[in-house]
């Protein structure tokens, strides 16, 4: 098993956090404290981000506003989603790697109420359906983490029925 802070995955499906800069001169090491603290599964970022920030300092200040969402533990992957939006992963060709659609949907579903309570919003243009879904970590962030979080949420020994026979 492999553990990335809160996420434990079998070795066969663990994402590989790059230790070598995939595109020197384009990708920058992640220095945002929020993302380092929450042990996101990537080490390099690229700007501008989805929120219109042109650097990590601006992203850090904005992310601090969302600390309360992570603190209420509405979803164990909320920090990963927020980092993938504010401090996006830099892909193998220096491109922005977006959050996976499933990561976006789960975070909004589980934390949407708390966003409202704390008077926070995510921009309207962050439509989850516009994000890709892929097993390739160079296409989107969070696919395997969402699967593993769902497995952990299942109570051992109980199965969820979907209303069908069986």
Q: What pLDDT does 11 receive? A: 43
pLDDT tens for the chain, residues 1 to 166: 444 444 444 444 444 455 788 877 889 999 999 999 999 999 999 998 888 889 999 999 989 989 999 999 999 999 999 999 999 999 999 999 999 999 999 999 999 999 989 998 887 778 899 999 999 999 999 999 999 999 988 866 554 444 444 4
Instruction: DSSP letter for 130, please.
Output: G
Instruction: DSSP letter for 163, please.
Output: S
How many angstroms separate the CA atoms of 87 and 62, rounded?
Answer: 11
How many angstroms separate the CA atoms of 133 and 104, rounded?
Answer: 10
Phi, psi of 56 (to 5 degrees): -70, -30
Q: What pLDDT does 27 receive? A: 93
How many angstroms separate the CA atoms of 109 and 78, rounded?
Answer: 11
* Overall pTM surpassing 0.95 (yes/no): no
Q: What pLDDT does 49 receive? A: 87
Which is nearest to 141 in space by CA: 3, 4, 15, 48?
A: 15
Phi, psi of 23 (to 5 degrees): -150, 80
Q: What pLDDT does 153 receive? A: 86
How many angstroms separate the CA atoms of 162 and 83, rounded?
Answer: 33
Q: Which domains does the chain have, with CATH numbers?
A: 2-11+24-153 (1.10.2000.10)
């Amino acid at each position: 098993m492999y553990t990335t802070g809160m996420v434990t995955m079998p070795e066969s499906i663990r994402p590989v956090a790059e230790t070598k800069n995939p595109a020197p001169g384009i990708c920058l090491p992640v220095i945002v404290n929020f993302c380092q603290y929450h042990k996101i599964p990537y080490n390099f970022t690229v700007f501008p981000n989805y929120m219109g920030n042109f650097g990590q300092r601006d992203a850090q200040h904005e992310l601090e506003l969302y600390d309360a969402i992570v603190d209420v533990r509405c979803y164990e992957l909320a920090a990963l989603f927020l980092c993938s939006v504010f401090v996006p992963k830099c892909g193998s060709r220096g491109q922005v790697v977006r959050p996976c659609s499933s990561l976006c949907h789960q975070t909004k579903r589980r934390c949407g109420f708390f966003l409202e309570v704390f008077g926070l919003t995510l921009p309207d243009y962050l439509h989850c359906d516009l994000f890709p879904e892929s097993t390739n970590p160079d296409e989107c962030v969070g696919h395997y983490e969402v699967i593993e979080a769902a497995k952990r949420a299942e109570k051992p020994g109980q199965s969820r029925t979907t209303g069908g026979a069986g």
